[in-house]
Structure 1
Amino acid sequence: SVLAPLKTYEFSGRIDHQLSKNNTIVFRSFGEGAKTYNAGLSGFDLPSRAYNAQDSDATFRMTETAIISPTTVNESSFQYIRRRSKIASADASPTVRVQDAFTGGGANTGNAFNHEDRLELQNFTTLVHGDHQIKFGARLRHVRILDVSPGNFAGTFTFTSLDQYRNTIQHVAGAMPSQFTIAGGNPAALVTRTDVGIYALDDWRMRPNLTLSFGLRYEMQTNISDHGDIAPRLSVAWSPKGNGKPKTVFRGGFGIFYDRFSESLTLQTLRFDGINQQQFVVTDPAILSQAIFTLGGTVTNVPTVQTLAAFAQPQTVRTTAAGLKAPRTMQMAASVERQLPYNTTVSVTYVFSHADRLLRSRNTNAPINGVRPNPALGNIFAYDASGRLNQHQILVNFRSNISKRVSLFGNYAFGKAKSDTDGAGTFPANQYSLADEYGPASTDIRHRFVLGGNLKTVLGVALSPFLTYRTGVPFNITTGVDNNGDTLFTDRPSFGTVGQPGVVVTRFGIFNPNPGPGDTIIQRNYGRGPSFFVTNLRVSREWTLFDKGKKSKSGKVAQSSDDRNRTGTNSPFSAPAARGGGGDDDEGGSPYKLELFFQVRNLLNHTNGGTPIGNLSSPLFGDPVSLASGFGFGGGRQSGGNRRFRWEATFSF
C-alpha cells in the first residue's frame, strides 16, 4: 500500500454592523482547502502513477437589510466564490497499461489546474398587505472557468496481456505493445456563463388555520438557446383546529423546477471541438517496436506528436444538440405533521417527481452496419435533452426533545425511481434506439435510514451518535465488448440459460454476452451493489471563559413585519422569513467560549464496498474494487471509508 497523507484547513469569519436604526449589513467569509499526496491510485496502479492534488474554496458574502416601513423589508446580497485546484504529476513519463495486470508509468493527467470564479447578485422585497405576505425579487449569477488539462499529452502504451508485456521487456522477436495513444494541441479552455431568475411569491393566510401559497419564477441562461423557463408553484397548509398552536398540519404542493446546463459541459464542447486538441492512435508495428520498456514499468524512445502526423485519427467531437432545453422537473408533495407528547414531532410525506428533457450523450455519427452516416468524420458525441425520470418517495421524519439532556432525530425513506439516463455522460446501448434504456435510475435506492441524537452527560460532556444505513445502489451490467461497432462499451447482454454456449453464470443471473436477434436484453442498471452502513460518534465539551456573572445590556431588535404576522402553517414552497434590524445579544455571561471535541467516523470500522465492476468480460465482475466514500473528514476528498479519528479545539467570541 501507499500512504496518501491529507492536510486540510478551514476558516470562517463574520462582521455585523448596524448602519442605522432600520439598516444592517453583514459581512461573512468562510472556506476550506486540502492538499493530498500520492492521490489517484486505484486497484491496478503502481506507485509511480500517483499525483499530488491541491484545492481551495473561499466564499465572501455581503448582505444588507433595510426595514423600509413597518410592513416592508428589502434585502440585497452580493457573493463571490473563488475556487482553485491543481494536480502535479510526480512522474511525467508515458502511461504503461497492461490489461487486468497493472498500470505503470506516470499519471496521464499531466500538470493540470482549474480556476473558477463565481459572482452572484440578489435582491428581494418582502411586504405584508392584510392577510398576504408577498415576496418578489431577482437573482443574477455569472461564472468564469479557466481549465488547463493536458490529459494523455505524455501518451499511453497498451498491452493486452501480461505475457505480451513480459515478452516485450525481454526483447522477444516481434513482441511489442498493441497500441499507443497520445494527445496534443492546446490544453487550455475558457468558458463563461450567465443566468438570471425573476420571481414572485404570495403567502395568503385565508384563515387562521389555512394558508395558500402561489408563485411564479422565470429563468434563462447563456450557452443554450432555451430562454423560456417558466416555473409556477402552488401549495397549501391547513390545520384542523384553528385556535391555539395546531398539533396537526396537512401540507400539499406542486411546482416546476429547472436545472441549469452546466458550464462544465460547455467546457467539454470547447475543448473537444476537433481543433483545439488532437488525438493520435498508433497500431503500426514500425512505430510501436521503437519504444524500449523496462521491468519497472517505464519506457523510453517514445514517439512524439510531431512525428505522428500520419497517424492522426478522425477526431471525437463534443457538441450540444440543436435546440437543447434546460432539464425540467415537475414535483408534487403531500404531507402530514403531528405534534406528540414529550416534545416529539412526526411527519410523513409522499413525493412524486416526473422529469423530462434530462441530459444524456449520444454518438450521432455511430456506424450503421459498419458505415458512418458521415464517413469523413469520426465520433460526434452530442449532449441532448431527451431523457426522462419517474420517482416515488415516502419520507418519515421524527424529532424528539425528550428532556434538556436527551434529544433524538431520525428519518426513513422508501424510494423507487426509473429513468432512461443517469446524467449528461450516460450513453445508450444502441445510439439509434432508446426504447430499451428505461430502467432503474442510479438514485433508485429502496431504503434509507438515519438515526442520531444528543446526550448531555456529567461534567458537561455531550455525546452525539449518528447512524446511517441504505440498501444497494444500482449499477449497469455490460458485455465489455463493442458488439454493435459504435466504439462505445455500453452494450448489455441478454438473458441466458444453463448450458447455452458462451453464457456467463453470476450471482446476479445468467447472461449471454453475445445476444442474437430477438433475444431479450437486460434492462439498464440491472445489478445491485452492496448496502452501506456507518456509525459516527462525536464527544464534545464547552467552557465559558472569563465569566464573572455579568449580564450583557439587552438591545432591541427591530422586528420585521414578517415576524409580526406569522401564520404558523408555512407551506413547503414558502420563502424564509425576512428579518431586519439588529442589536446586542440578550444572552448573559462571557462571550468567550472554548470547545473541545473528539470525533470518530465509521466507529465500527465496517467495510462499505463501492460500486461493483459491471463488465462481464472482467475477472473481477460483480466485485467492488474500491470503498464507498463521502463520509470521512473532508467529505468527498476521502478516497476510503475506513475508521477515522479527529480532535479539534474551537475558540469563539
Structure 2
Amino acid sequence: YGVRYDYQRLEEPKIRNTSFQLAQRRINTAQLNQDLNNFGPRIGFSYAATKDSKTVVRAGYGVFYSRTPSILTGTVITNNGVQLQNFSFTGNNTPIYPNKFTTPPTGAAAGRPNIFFYDPDFVSPLIQQGSLGVERELPGKISVSLSYLVVKGTHLQRVRDVNLGAPVSSSIAVGIAGSPRLTFDRFSNPRPLSLFNRVTAVSSDSSSIYHGLSVQVNKRYAQNFQFLFSYTFSKAIDDKPDATSVVVGNAGDDAKQVSNYFRPDLDRGLGDSDVKHRAVVSGVYDLNFSKYTGASSGLAKAIFDGYSLSGIFTGTSGRPFSATVPIDLNNDGNSRTDRVPGVGRNTLRGPNFYQLDMRFTKSFKPTETTKVEFIGEAFNVFNRTNIANIDTNQFSVTGTAPNQILVPNRNFLNGLSSTGAGRGANRQFQLALKFDF
C-alpha cells in the first residue's frame, strides 16, 4: 500500500483576449486552474487460499492521475484570437513562404478566429482501478487464472464548442415509402459571439467505465513445449472523451468531438476502443529429431536437432461505430459527428478480426561461442481478409434545408479498405538469417 502525489505544472496562457463579447460570457483566455490535490492511494494483497499454496487470491485498488497532452496546452496558449489572426484574400502578387506580410494586406478580409480557453473547473484526469483474481496451479506445470478488472475514469478531458445558437427542433424526410420524418435538434444562426467562429472550451467533464473478465491458461516450458491461452470478455462505456482535437476543420480532429455540444450525454455509449471478445493463443514447440532417429554424432545432431515451431492466433470482436450522415445536419459547423437522427452512438459493430502468424526456425552451433539461426515467418497464414474500414454513412442527403431528404446509401457497411498497417494485411512471408557470436 502507499500514496503517490502527482503534479503537472501547465504553462499558463499569458495573453487575455479583451473582446467585450467574451467578457459578457465570462470567458477568460488567460485563465488556468492548476490542479494541486492529486493524491493517489494504492493498496494490494495476495493470499494463499490453500495449505499447498497452489491457489492464490490477489486483489488491488489504486487511484491514478493522467497528464494533459502538450498539444492541448500549446493550442490554448496560441489560439486566443490575439496571437494568431486569420485573413482571407486573393491576388496574383501573394508572397510565397518564407516571404511574409508585415501588416495585413490592403483589401484583406479578417476571418473570424477560432479560439480555445480552459474551463474554470479544468482538472487532471482521474482513474480508479480495481482488480480481483484467483490463480490455481495444476499438474504438468499448468496454471489457470480468473481475474476481474474495473477501471473508472472521471474528469476526462475533451473540447466542446460553446459558441452555438439555441437548438431548434427540426425534422427531415426519409426517401423510403412509409417512413416517418426523423426529428433532431438544429442549431440556429448566427453564432451568439458574432466576432468569433468556434469558441472551444477545454473541459474535464467526461467519464468512462470499463469492466473486463479474463481467463488465462499458462503451460510453462517443459518437455520442449510451452503454451498460453487468454480470453477477455469486456465492455467499455464513455461519452467520447478526447483531449487531442485541436485543429478546427480537420476531418480527423472534428470526428473526435461529441455530436451535440449542449448534450454530451447523448454520446454516452460503447467506447471507440471497446472489444467485447478477445482471444489469443500462442505456443512454442522445439523439435529434436535425433532422439527418434538414434543419431548421436555431432554432425547428425546438427542436422536433426535445433528445430522450433511457434505461432500466435488472435481473434477479436469488431470495433463499434455509429450510423452517420455525410453533412452538417445539426448546423454546428462540424460535419464529422452527425449521426442518423434518433440513433445512438456506437450502436453498430464492425467485422471481426482473425489472424494466425507462424514462425519456423532451425539453429545450430558451428562453435561453442557462435550460433546460426535460419528463420522463416508467415503473417496472416490463411490470408483472411480483415476489413479495416467500412462506409458508416447510412444515408446520403439531397436537397437543401428545410427540404432535405435522406436517401439510403447502397454502400453502407461495405468495406472501404481491406489492408492497413498492422491490421488487415495480406499474407506475407519473410526469411532471415541470424548469426550470434
Shorter chain as denominator, the TM-score bin is: 0.7 to 0.9
1:531 matches 2:378:
no
1:492 aligns with 2:270: no
Task: Please say if 1:442 is aligned against 2:272.
Answer: yes
- Report the secondary structure of 2:391's partner residue: coil
1:651 maps to 435
- Calculate the TM-score normalised by the size of structure 2: 0.72
Task: Specify whether residues 323 and 543 from structure 1 end up closer, same or farther in structure 2 by C-alpha distance, changes over 3 A only.
Answer: farther
Displacement after TM superposition at 1:279 (Å): 4.8
In structure 1, what residue type is equivalent to 2:434? T
Whether 2:4 is the aligned partner of 1:217: answer yes
Cα distance, 1:478 vs structure 2: 2.5
Residues 1:236 and 2:45 aligned together = yes
Paired AA for residue 400 in structure 1: K
Secondary structure of the residue that 1:269 maps to in structure 2? helix
**1:32-431 correspondence runs (5 A):** 214-223=1-10, 225-242=34-51, 246-270=53-77, 272-274=79-81, 279=86, 310-368=108-166, 369-401=188-220, 403-424=222-243, 425=245, 426-431=256-261
How far is 1:372 from its partner?
2.2
Task: State the aligned residue count.
Answer: 346
The answer (yes or no) to whether the contact 1:473–1:611 under 8 Å persists in 2 is: no
Q: How many angstroms does 1:400 deviate by?
A: 1.0
1:361 Cα shift?
1.6
Q: Is this contact kept in 2: 1:358–1:421, CA < 8 A? A: no
Give the partner amino acid of 2:123.
K
Post-superposition Cα deviations, 1:356-376, rounded to whole Å, max 9, x if no partner, equal 111222012223331323211
Tell me the distance in 1 between the aligned counterparts of 2:280 and 2:203.
36
Give the superposition deviation at 1:540: 1.8
**Match for residue 479 of structure 1 among 314, 322, 325:** 325
Q: Secondary structure at the match of 1:436?
A: helix
1:209 aligns with none
SS in 1 for 2:74: helix
Residue 643 of structure 1: how far off its partner (Å): 1.9
Query: Following the alignment from structure 1 to structure 2, what is the Cα–Cα distance between the partners of residues 392 and 598?
Result: 39
Per-residue deviation at 1:526?
1.9
Q: How far apart, CA to CA, are the structure 2 residues paired with 1:643 and 1:308? A: 59
Q: Percent identity?
A: 27
Determine whether 1:544 maps to 2:365: yes
* RCO higher in structure (CA 8 A, sep ≥6): 2
1:455, distance to aligned residue in structure 2 (A): 1.1
Q: Distance in 2 between matches of 1:273 and 1:482?
A: 25
Paired with 1:334 and 1:234, the residues of 2 have a C-alpha distance of: 12
Equivalent pair of 1:257/1:330 in contact (CA under 8 Å): yes
Question: Is residue 461 from structure 1 mapped to residue 307 from structure 2 by the alignment?
Answer: yes
Contact 1:472 1:528 in 2 (8 A): yes
- Conserved in 2, the CA contact under 8 Å of 1:601 and 1:631? no
The answer to whether the 8 A contact 2:88-2:108 is kept is: no
Q: What residue identity is the alignment partner of 1:313?
A: G
For the residue of structure 2 that corresponds to 1:594, the secondary structure is strand
Alignment partner of 1:610 is 2:388: yes
Instruction: Look up the equivalent residue of 2:39 and give its one-letter code.
Output: I
Q: Give structure 2 stretches of 5+ with no counterpart.
A: 12-33, 167-187, 246-255, 290-304, 397-408
Native 8 Å contact 1:367 1:485 kept in 2 = no
CA shift for structure 1 position 227: 2.5
Give the match for residue 426 of structure 2: 642
- RMSD over aligned Cα atoms: 2.6
Residues 310-359 of structure 1, C-alpha deviations (whole Å, 9 max, x = no match):
34421222343334211111111110101112111111101112111112
Task: State the shift of 1:239 in Å.
Answer: 0.9
Partner residue of 1:522 out of 343, 348, 372: 343
Shift of 1:614: 2.3
- Alpha-carbon separation, structure 2, partners of 1:370 and 1:465: 59
